[in-house]
């Protein structure tokens, strides 16, 4: 079964096509299922940050993307509803310190219709900022804008 996974603190976290999020300990080789998600979606582990596993979820070409966080300390799952405007995607965590995340939280885009009649988006401007970790995990869009000198790669 196909899986996606990441490494963090002596463990590998993976999610398979059956929607099972599990942990493999590199210390003793044991594994355990942490959470069972619906199997009719496609999951990708985005990252492990601040003791949370972030899962990006896709349900098909017509569905809106979703994201979830699995808290490794409380063993709970919550939906992440912080999304960019058009071309919906999860607000991306680019860095962190003890209290804040540095995030890419939105963009300005220009939509044009291609020669084939499909919609094409061109991003004109990116918005970066700080958000407290508490606000991020509680889905409060309270960004402190950061003016960038140059765009990160």
Residues in the chain, pLDDT under 70: 1-4, 60-62, 150-153
On whether the CB atoms of residues 67 and 79 are closer than 8 A, the answer is: yes
Q: What is the pLDDT of residue 1?
A: 47
Dist. CA 69–CA 60, nearest whole Å? 20
Q: What is the pLDDT of residue 152?
A: 55
Dist. CA 36–CA 20, nearest whole Å? 5
DSSP 105-126: EEEEEEEEE-TTS-EEEEEEEE
Q: What is the pLDDT of residue 95?
A: 95
pTM: 0.84
Instruction: Quote the DSSP letter at residue 30.
Output: -
Q: What is the pLDDT of residue 83?
A: 94
Q: What is the pLDDT of residue 60?
A: 64
The closest alpha carbon to 127, from 110, 152, 97, belongs to 152
């Amino acid at each position: 079964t196909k899986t996606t996974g990441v490494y963090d603190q002596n463990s590998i976290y993976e999610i398979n096509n059956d929607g099972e999020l599990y942990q493999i300990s590199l210390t003793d080789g044991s594994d355990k299922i942490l959470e069972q998600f619906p199997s009719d979606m496609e999951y990708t582990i985005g990252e492990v940050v601040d003791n949370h596993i972030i899962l990006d979820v896709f349900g098909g070409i017509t569905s809106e993307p979703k994201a979830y966080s699995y808290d490794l300390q409380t063993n709970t799952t919550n939906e992440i509803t912080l999304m960019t405007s058009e071309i919906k995607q999860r607000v991306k965590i680019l860095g962190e310190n003890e209290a804040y995340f540095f995030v890419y939280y939105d963009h300005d885009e220009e939509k044009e219709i291609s020669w084939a009649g499909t919609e094409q988006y061109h991003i004109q401007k990116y918005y970066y900022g700080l958000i407290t970790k508490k606000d991020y995990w509680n889905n409060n869009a309270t960004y402190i804008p950061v003016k960038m000198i140059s765009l990160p790669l």
